[in-house]
Amino acid sequence: MISPQTNKIEYKERKYRNLIEGKDLISFQVKEAESDLYIRANQELSFYAQQMVSNFRKQIENYIYSYPLFKST
């Protein structure tokens, strides 16, 4: 979440992530810039998920470069 006072991203603990059931699932996080995903799956997918996040973030950043107003709306 972006703080209105500092205009910087603040970390907020995501306690709800501990409520997800499925002890037989593999849990992993994917973090890149403002993206912070908590993923649970029946197989290890962290490398694939990181690639996907990087790819989608790059697309969004390219769009923002072309249409700067998008970032603030």
Residue 58 lies in a domain: yes
Residue 7 lies in a domain: no
Which of residues 34 and 14 earns the better pLDDT score? 34
Which has the closest alpha carbon to 70: 3, 48, 62, 23? 62
pLDDT band at 23; cut points 50, 70, 90: confident
Question: Average pLDDT of the chain?
Answer: 85
Residue 9 lies in a domain: no
Residue 6 lies in a domain: no
**Tokens standing for 15?**
């306690």
Taking the whole predicted model, whether its pTM rises above 0.85 is answered as no
Residue 4 lies in a domain: no
Which has the closest alpha carbon to 28: 37, 16, 20? 37
Residue 19 lies in a domain: yes
